[in-house]
Amino acid sequence: MKRYLKIALRQLAREKLYTLLNVSGLALGIACCLMLGLYLWGELTYDRHHVNHERIYRIATEMKFGDGHSSELAITSSPLGPMLAGEYPEYFKSYVRFRDASRPTPVLLRHDDEKAYWDHVYAADENVFDVFTHEIVYGDPHTALAKPGSIAISRRMAQRYFGNENPIGRTLTTDGGRPLNVTLVFEELPENSHLRYNALIAYKGRGAEVPADITARLQQLLNMGHFEYTYVELTDGADPREYPRLSQAFYEKHMMVALKTAANLEWRSWIEPLADIHLGAGLEYDLPHGNRIYLYAFAAVAAFILVVACINYVNLATARAARRTRAIGLRKILGAGRATLIAQFLGESVLFALLATVLGVVLVEVLLSLPAVSALFGKTLTLDLFGRPWLALSVLAFGVCVGLAAGLYPAVYLSSFMPLTALVGRYRSGGLRLREALVFIQFAISIGVIACTLLMSEQMRFIASIGLGFDKENRVLLTLRDRDLVGRESLIATELGKQPGVLGVATTSFIMGRDIPHGTGKVQNNDGAMTDLDFSLLFVGDDFIPVMGIELVKGRDFSRRLLTDVGSTYIVNETFVRRMGWDDALGKRMTLGGGAFSGPVIGVVKDFNYKSLHTSIEPLVIVRNGDGNDDRIVVVSIAPDGIRETLQHIQKLFAQLDPIHPFEYTFLDEELDRLYVSEERLMKLIGIFAAICILVACLGLFGLAASATEQRTKEIGIRKVLGASTLAIILLLARRVLMLIGAGAIVASIVAWLAMQQWLSGFAYRAALNPAYLLLAALGAGAVALLTIALQSRRTARADPVAALRYE
């Protein structure tokens, strides 16, 4: 054993180029696999840290409308959980509701002078710490949220306000002046939790209880107006497949009459296992979640790089056989059995792979410590082999497997030489067909991945360039956060409008790109009858349509002077008009909020994309805000020149108007760009890995060219004597490979084309697939390959032909 190790190491040291090419290729492949493996592991183990995760489910609901449209929602109404649990105690052990208190605008919490905005603050039922697994730092999890006005906070939040002391019993105050009593501190939730919160407030009081009154109860049961998620824990004997039956019975008992008969709506609900939510189907109003397709893409790319690296090993090992054939033949003459030789060669390849594994691990450690890499993955990945011996063992086992996989064919091939080959004749370059087939595979993979990258970037450019139907550039978003400020919104808007550099000011309750609420209502059709329709609802204040640059195609905008415009006149989009089949939209009546609001349509706007471009435009109703108590968003349109000065003016003004809150602003275009973060990330990652893929393939090609040149030295000499130019020689050496790359390109193009069509189907707006990109990928790969071969064979091709002939 030691002996073979020694010999193998000597072999590695002797053939430095070969070793370098092989080990670096394998190391790169292994490093990519490790990193993507860590990423995948994180994605696939979401929410598994909850001890009861196998019994916990989230309720998802669907509303089906009379016209065949339906919405699948991640949110539920408030009474659904308590009512279900109350009616089927043998099935549901408990329920936990999370109502998002920080959407659409973050919660401001203060303690003494310390104040900060917090996202991900939920009101939760008191048993949340019994159902879900938390690491508790301070406090009693069983009673923490039992009393109204209690708040459980994360360690990070505790540190922010109270330093390292125990904050139990201390008070945090909300923006509205409501005191919250800190009753518990929990450790930061693991990064792979789909629902991550900074604080939980006791879900008590108004809205939390199920109303006793039947009408009120029904109304609440149908009200999906809050961002409220309901989780249930099933009893031990409960079968999750039973749930649809229970849900249906519940629907028929409580909701069917009101929905079906009165509104021609159907309701349905189902449960999603906790651990599946992260990679589940996209539901409306869901929390940010992963995407299975992207995981498959990552896994495929990682596997590709490894395959390409293993192919290098096979190719270089068999191509180099010429050099070893004598030693192998001699060993056989001296009595070596085939099994002995196979073991020796496999040992060599395993050693190679282990060396590469060590290098790969080092590479991963270095890369993962770079902030740019974490940003690329969108999360922190850690290898931590010393802290996780099982992982270290798996990595080692992985290395051995790679070694065996890469070394198997070369070992079988090399050990098959007959002893006589050591003594007579020249070694016939065997295995050529196989090597060519493998080069073909390598380049097909590389070209495919590159083509996908190019096509994806084309789509992203298309998305960026698409007309949204409104202006997103130079729109600054500010938030008015308390009732007092919202009450003065017109004044604030007027003052802002006077600032230099400000072109226009509008207020609104919702803004494009963020969650926009859903509504249902009765709408008058051409015949005058009222029909049901579901649509998106956009509550806006003054001047929203002109300031956003939305085009009014018919009718008029809301008027500041007409009080009747508040809540009782409506502007709809073109899709709405088309869906209703209206001949003339103006004057058609509609009723919203179960009869609370009613009035005519006064205008029609051109369609604009108020959601991400993954979804197409739905019917939309724009309603004029009243003096609500919601937070308000102020949209300030500013001149493109002197943005910094303008912002300073605005900030100064705000410091006077609102001395309490820290000044915060965002740009609309930046917020909208965030909708495509996962695509951008996928594209970048795949782009980088595509580059690595082709790099590894070229490492192999470099080695192959080296051995081909070596074997053909005499031929090259003769050709040069007969007058061949250097270029002609290089082309001679590269011709076969270029043909293989061409063939690979054809296969890769077809696969890439189909894969990208699949990917594009996730977008409502798709760039036309441009075949030029496929050609570009193939030409690029061909050029890189030609360059590689030229680099390698240049010396031989240029050399004095006599020297080449003397080689024999």
Partner 1 sequence: MIIETEGLKKLYRTDLVETTALDSVNFSVDSGQFVSIMGPSGCGKSTLMHILGLIDTPSDGQYRFLGEDVSRYPESKRAAIRKRNIGFVFQSFNLIDELTVHENVELPLLYAKTSARERQAKVDAVLERMDIGHRRDHLPGQLSGGQQQRVAVARAVVHQPNLILADEPTGNLDSEHGAEVMKILVKLHEGGTSIVMVTHSPDNAAYAERTVRMLDGRILAEHRSGT
Those residues with Cβ within 8 angstroms of residue 601's Cβ, 6 or more apart along the chain or in another chain:
555, 569, 570, 571, 572, 585, 586, 587, 588, 589, 590
Of the two residues 2 and 795, which places its CB atom closer to partner 1 in the complex? 2
Angle, to 10 degrees, between the axis of helix 771-798 and the axis of helix 713-721? 80
Q: How far is the CB of 280 from partner 1 (least distance, A)?
A: 58
Question: Coil, strand or helix: which one is 618?
Answer: coil
Instruction: Rule CB under 8 A: say whether 333 interacts with partner 1.
Output: yes
Closest CA to 26 of 654, 699, 556, 490: 699
Instruction: Rule CB under 8 A: say whether 10 interacts with partner 1.
Output: yes
Could you tell me which stretch among 85-93, 326-334, 392-400, 771-779 binds partner 1 (CB under 8 A)?
A: 326-334
Instruction: Rule CB under 8 A: say whether 321 interacts with partner 1.
Output: no
Question: Coil, strand or helix: which one is 237?
Answer: coil
- H helices present in 45-191, as ranges: 80-87, 128-131, 155-162
Q: How far is the CB of 334 from partner 1 (least distance, A)?
A: 5
Of the two residues 82 and 419, which places its CB atom closer to partner 1 in the complex? 419
Instruction: Rule CB under 8 A: say whether 337 interacts with partner 1.
Output: yes
- CA neighbours closer than 13 Å in the CB half-sphere of residue 660: 16
CB 796 within 8 A of CB 709: yes
Of the two residues 339 and 372, which places its CB atom closer to partner 1 in the complex? 339
Q: How far is the CB of 369 from partner 1 (least distance, A)?
A: 39
Of the two residues 343 and 373, which places its CB atom closer to partner 1 in the complex? 343
Of the two residues 333 and 750, which places its CB atom closer to partner 1 in the complex? 333
User: Between the CA of residue 115 and those of 110, 118, 765, what are the distances in Å?
Assistant: 4, 10, 42
Angle at 524 between CA 519 and CA 530, to 5 degrees: 80
Of the two residues 14 and 806, which places its CB atom closer to partner 1 in the complex? 14
**Cα–chain center distance at 640:** 32
Instruction: Rule CB under 8 A: say whether 5 interacts with partner 1.
Output: no
Instruction: Rule CB under 8 A: say whether 19 interacts with partner 1.
Output: no
Of the two residues 330 and 751, which places its CB atom closer to partner 1 in the complex? 330
Q: Figure out which of the listed residues 68, 237, 288, 335 binds partner 1, where binding follows CB under 8 A.
A: 335
Instruction: Rule CB under 8 A: say whether 332 interacts with partner 1.
Output: yes
Q: How far is the CB of 805 from partner 1 (least distance, A)?
A: 21
Of the two residues 6 and 142, which places its CB atom closer to partner 1 in the complex? 6
Of residues 551-580, those binding partner 1 (CB under 8 A):
none
Instruction: Rule CB under 8 A: say whether 60 interacts with partner 1.
Output: no
Instruction: Rule CB under 8 A: say whether 437 interacts with partner 1.
Output: no
- CA neighbours closer than 13 Å in the CB half-sphere of residue 648: 4
Of the two residues 244 and 337, which places its CB atom closer to partner 1 in the complex? 337
Could you tell me which stretch among 5-13, 70-78, 144-152, 758-766 binds partner 1 (CB under 8 A)?
A: 5-13
Q: How far is the CB of 707 from partner 1 (least distance, A)?
A: 17
Could you tell me which stretch among 334-342, 491-499, 715-723, 754-762 binds partner 1 (CB under 8 A)?
A: 334-342
Those residues with Cβ within 8 angstroms of residue 581's Cβ, 6 or more apart along the chain or in another chain:
525, 526
Q: Which residues pair with 150 in a beta bridge?
A: 181
Spatial separation of the C-alpha atoms in residues 98 and 197, rounded to whole Å:
10
Of residues 110-139, those binding partner 1 (CB under 8 A):
none
User: What count of other Cβ atoms lies within 10 Å of the Cβ of residue 393?
Assistant: 11
Q: How far is the CB of 313 from partner 1 (least distance, A)?
A: 19
Q: How far is the CB of 327 from partner 1 (least distance, A)?
A: 5
Angle, to 10 degrees, between the axis of helix 677-711 and the axis of helix 771-798? 30
What would the two tokens of residue 435 be? 């090597």
Of residues 80-109, those binding partner 1 (CB under 8 A):
none
Give 431-443 as a DSSP string. THHHHHHHHHHHH
Q: How far is the CB of 320 from partner 1 (least distance, A)?
A: 13
Of the two residues 146 and 327, which places its CB atom closer to partner 1 in the complex? 327
What would the two tokens of residue 47 be? 């929410």
Q: How far is the CB of 296 from partner 1 (least distance, A)?
A: 45
Closest CA to 52 of 125, 143, 134: 134
Spatial separation of the C-alpha atoms in residues 369 and 363, rounded to whole Å:
10
User: What count of other Cβ atoms lies within 10 Å of the Cβ of residue 753?
Assistant: 18
Q: Which residues pair with 201 in a beta bridge?
A: 123, 151
Instruction: Rule CB under 8 A: say whether 330 interacts with partner 1.
Output: yes
Instruction: Rule CB under 8 A: say whether 327 interacts with partner 1.
Output: yes
Q: How far is the CB of 416 from partner 1 (least distance, A)?
A: 10
Q: How far is the CB of 11 from partner 1 (least distance, A)?
A: 6
Q: Output Rg (C-alpha) for the chain, integer angstroms.
A: 34
Of residues 373-392, those binding partner 1 (CB under 8 A):
none
Q: Figure out which of the listed residues 336, 552, 566, 747 binds partner 1, where binding follows CB under 8 A.
A: 336
CB 402 within 8 A of CB 30: yes
Of residues 399-418, those binding partner 1 (CB under 8 A):
418
CB 91 within 8 A of CB 301: no
Q: Figure out which of the listed residues 82, 104, 190, 419 binds partner 1, where binding follows CB under 8 A.
A: 419
Could you tell me which stretch among 75-83, 298-306, 330-338, 625-633 binds partner 1 (CB under 8 A)?
A: 330-338
Of the two residues 420 and 802, which places its CB atom closer to partner 1 in the complex? 420
User: What count of other Cβ atoms lies within 10 Å of the Cβ of residue 394?
Assistant: 13
Residues that contact partner 1, how many (by CB under 8 A): 23
Spatial separation of the C-alpha atoms in residues 678 and 341, rounded to whole Å:
50
Instruction: Rule CB under 8 A: say whether 420 interacts with partner 1.
Output: yes
Q: Figure out which of the listed residues 155, 160, 326, 766 binds partner 1, where binding follows CB under 8 A.
A: 326
Q: Which residues pair with 661 in a beta bridge?
A: none
Q: How far is the CB of 739 from partner 1 (least distance, A)?
A: 27
Spatial separation of the C-alpha atoms in residues 484 and 487, rounded to whole Å:
5
How deeply is 160 buried, as exposed, middle or buried, from its count of CB atoms within 10 A (0-12, 13-18, 19+)? middle
Name the residues that contact partner 1, by CB under 8 A: 3, 7, 10-11, 14, 326-327, 330-338, 340, 418-420, 422-424
